[in-house]
């Protein structure tokens, strides 16, 4: 995830990476001492995801000409930060086997006068063009986790699944009657580690890391998704949690409706309630 975020935000990506990495390493080395067994079958977390975003995109012309890479925040005026609703959870169908899921929407829109000339799909937008833009990014994650190390106080498992990025774009210049739209759904297969450790009677630490580095169908690129969280048990079935999530998605898309590249980075804090059943 490389460089520090360009603007101040809730959490720097390097810190999130370090926290998640250290947490997973500790989980892989601790001897999960005796404690209260976790018999949760289904868990649902709902809360706020406070994000800081740094996004670049390119849309190529239908004749094969490469478009201009634009900075979505600086060039188009899209918000670089915001708070969105996020839901996630898991269903444990056997002692060491569960299905994890997550969903949230990072879509944005803006209006701004172009500060430089650039090409987007089949249109060249000149300086001072009044632009209206929509850039949609909905994230859906589903994965299977096998807990190869599972004791009363926690688990460490390998996970594999899909990170589905639903991308939609609209760039509109109403005064000159020009509109360019495109959409694509990128189902990226990911693998990684997921773990949880109960630090004390009412405190638990969790972390996960998911990765994608390969060519898949019409998509080619990389994904790094790191998360670390701390939860406090309010009751037998309700926890409150705070966490940090850092994601870097760099993908090339080659489809009839949308050909180009997307370099999306979002980092943020999670505040949530977790309900166990």
Give the tens place of pLDDT for each residue, 32-65. Answer: 444 444 678 999 999 999 999 999 999 999 999 9
- Residues 142-173: pLDDT tens digits? 999 999 998 888 899 999 999 999 999 999 99
Answer for the pair 179, 171: CB distance below 8 angstroms, yes or no.
Answer: yes
Q: What is the reported pTM?
A: 0.84
- Domain hosting residue 77, numbered range: 13-276
**7 assigned to some structural domain:** no
Classify burial at 33, counting beta carbons within 10 Å of its beta carbon; exposed 0-12, middle 13-18, buried 19 or more.
exposed
Which CATH number belongs to the domain containing residue 153 in this structure? 2.40.128.90
Is 3 inside a domain boundary? no
Question: 83 in a domain, yes or no?
Answer: yes
How many domains does the chain fold into?
A: 1
Hey, is 75 helix, strand or coil? coil
Longest dimension (CA), the chain: 70
Measured CA to CA, the distance from residue 135 to residue 182 in angstroms comes to 10
- The answer to the question of residue 6 being in a domain is no
Structure tokens at 129: 């063009």
* Residue 3 scores a pLDDT above 50: no
* Chain center to CA of 156: 21
Q: Report if residue 152 sits inside a domain.
A: yes
Q: What count of other Cβ atoms lies within 10 Å of the Cβ of residue 213?
A: 11
pLDDT at 18 over 90: no
How far CA 125 is from CA of 129, 132, 256, in Å, comes to 7, 12, 22
The whole-angstrom separation of Cα 209 and Cα 29 is 17
Does some domain include residue 123?
yes
pLDDT per residue over 80-125, tens digit each?
Answer: 999 999 999 999 999 999 999 999 999 999 999 999 999 999 999 9
H-helix or E-strand containing 48? Answer: strand 42-59
52, 81 contact by CB (below 8 A)? yes
Per residue in 167-222, pLDDT tens? 999 999 998 888 999 898 888 899 999 999 999 889 999 999 999 887 777 888 89
pLDDT at 23: 59
Please indicate, yes or no, if residue 5 is contained in any of the structural domains.
no
Q: Which of 199, 187, 266, 272 shows the shortest CA–CA distance to 226?
A: 266
- SS3 (DSSP) at 10: coil
Distance CA 43, CA 64 (A): 47
- How many Å apart are CA 57 and CA 132, to the nearest integer? 16
Q: Does some domain include residue 2?
A: no
Q: Measured between alpha carbons, how far is 226 from 244 in angstroms, rounded to an integer?
A: 8
pLDDT of residue 257: 80
């Amino acid at each position: 995830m490389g460089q520090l975020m360009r603007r101040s935000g809730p959490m720097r990506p390097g810190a999130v990476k370090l926290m998640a990495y250290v947490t997973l390493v500790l989980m892989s080395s601790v001897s999960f001492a005796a404690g209260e067994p976790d018999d949760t079958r289904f868990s649902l977390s709902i809360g706020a995801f406070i994000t800081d975003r740094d996004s670049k995109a390119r849309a190529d012309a239908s004749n094969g000409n490469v478009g201009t890479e634009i900075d979505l925040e600086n060039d188009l005026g899209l918000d670089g930060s915001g708070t969105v609703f996020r839901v996630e959870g898991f269903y444990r169908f056997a002692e060491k086997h569960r299905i994890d899921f997550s969903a949230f929407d990072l879509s944005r829109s803006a209006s701004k006068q172009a500060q430089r000339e650039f090409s987007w799909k089949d249109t060249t937008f000149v300086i001072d063009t009044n632009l209206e833009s929509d850039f949609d990014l909905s994230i859906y994650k589903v994965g299977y986790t096998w807990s190869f190390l599972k004791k009363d106080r926690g688990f460490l498992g390998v996970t594999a699944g899909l990170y589905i990025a639903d991308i939609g774009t609209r760039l509109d210049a109403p005064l000159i009657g020009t509109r360019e739209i495109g959409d694509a759904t990128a189902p990226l297969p990911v693998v990684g580690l997921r773990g949880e450790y109960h630090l004390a009677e009412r405190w638990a630490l969790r972390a996960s890391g998911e990765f994608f580095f390969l060519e898949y169908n019409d998509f080619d690129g990389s994904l790094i998704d790191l998360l670390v969280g701390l939860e406090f048990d309010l009751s037998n079935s309700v926890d409150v949690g705070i966490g940090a999530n850092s994601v870097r998605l760099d993908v090339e898309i080659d489809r009839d409706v949308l050909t180009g590249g997307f370099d999306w980075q979002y980092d943020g804090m999670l505040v949530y309630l977790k309900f166990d059943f």
